[in-house]
Structure 1
Amino acid sequence: MKQVAGTIMLIDKTGAPKFLVTESAADYHLMLADQEDGRTPLATILAAIKDQLGLNVNDLRLGELSNVIIEDQDVSLFVFEWGNIAAQQLSENITSLQAKGYTFEHPKTLRGLLTQIDMSGVPHFN
């Protein structure tokens, strides 16, 4: 089954980007969802973010769409950013995500994850 990946970019206080990932056994992973019949890749990842993470997807803005190769599979990767939400809401979102095993990490920390992803693909729209 085809998978779709997603992450949320957060700019820290120093202006550096951090990305939402989950960690297991010292490895980082992007959020993955199985693409559902009748749904576009975007609809699939938004449903996963809403259902699995409990986030209000209306607060997210699509910042980047790429095709990547993960474990020899062509995967659509969606990078979201939060729109204009209050600092209190952002803090509550981060706390909720941490309770679900997610964390925001700098790209430097994610080198192991990034070496597993071939970013040479081009976007495709279904």
Structure 2
Amino acid sequence: MKKYRLSDLQDTKEGHFLQGILPGEYLSSGGLAFEKPGYRTHSNDGPEGRDYHVHKDCEVFIIAQGKGEMEVDKTFHPVVTGDIFVIEPGEDHHLISSKEDPIVTLWVHAGPARHKNQLEEQQG
């Protein structure tokens, strides 16, 4: 896991805005999540209901609002608005939203190809 702040991002006019911290030429998947107060993401959603969640590529979480903790391999890190967490391949990770100030996050993956919605449809 690596931690950054929004102010650490490089000024870029081409490519994606996470260049330098997220490998991959294109943002390929992601979303915006509004977590419930006290909610822990990815609980019991591993194989056979095991309590772990990993990826084969990097995933970035940008804390857009709120507070909480990022649990990475059973170690807890405080998170606040403006934090950026890069989760490395194979790291078990869970985001825990504060009860008093629930988290809003942007999460993204990057890869060698654009998201399927940005590709031209094949004529059949």
TM superposition score normalised by structure 2: 0.27
Rg larger for: 2
Whose helix fraction is larger, Structure 1's or Structure 2's? Answer: 1
TM superposition score normalised by structure 1: 0.27
